[in-house]
A and B are shown apart, each in its own frame.
Chain A
Amino acid sequence: NAGVTQTPKFQVLKTGQSMTLQCAQDMNHNSMYWYRQDPGMGLRLIYYSASEGTTDKGEVPNGYNVSRLNKREFSLRLESAAPSQTSVYFCASTGRSNQPQHFGDGTRLSIL
């Protein structure tokens, strides 16, 4: 049982390049989330998808787009990467209300 799988684990980009971060869960969860974690800042919500076919902005959505491809997969796209987007990105999922979120191991992204 893999849980939440994120790819890639590491990536280095140049400013202006585009990239898609992939996330897949095998727990049949309805809701999926993308967070970024910066030193000393905890996790901040970028976008979330409460159910298949819906997406909504979180606290820090600027510069990102998302796609809920199906119930299992939720991708995060950087159209034109900026150094301020250097961070560790985490995907998470949950099934119902009052249930914990399950996290992937993260994607470490550096933008030069």
Chain B
Amino acid sequence: SQQGEEDPQALSIQEGENATMNCSYKTSINNLQWYRQNSGRGLVHLILIRSNEREKHSGRLRVTLDTSKKSSSLLITASRAADTASYFCATAGQGGSEKLVFGKGMKLTVNP
């Protein structure tokens, strides 16, 4: 069963604007990860945030985690056409197996 749910399911913005994607999950986690998938390709890891962390940055990416609300957000600042892709959140449960449970994904379109 899907653990994470991304919101919105699709987002279309202009180049230079910021894009925010939200993820909600149901059970306790060890970490939460965000991935990007370009059309026809495999998933590429963006950011991993541990359950005891609240915010992480990587370049133009900012991820927040609120374990009390079981939610996370991914912010892409100053978006580019190359950011057009599907984005997935995935949660790793407690227990150490690192099995990931993925959300259904969100399609981001950045118009030049």
Contacts and interface: CB of A to CB of B under 8 A. Distances in A.
Interface stretch (A14-22, A65-73, A101-109): A101-109
B26 interface: no
Nearest to B31: A98
Interface residues of B, number: 26
A45 B42 contact: no
B103 A98 contact: no
Contact residues on A (Cβ < 8 Å of other chain), bracket: 20 to 34
B103 A97 contact: no
Interface stretch (B12-20, B66-74, B77-85, B94-102): B94-102
Interface in B1-39: 1-2, 30-31, 33, 35
B30 A97 contact: yes
A106 B42 contact: yes
Given A31-B98, A98-B50, A103-B42, 13 more contacts: A4-B42, A35-B102, A42-B104, A43-B88, A43-B90, A59-B1, A98-B48, A100-B45, A100-B48, A101-B43, A103-B44, A104-B42, A106-B42
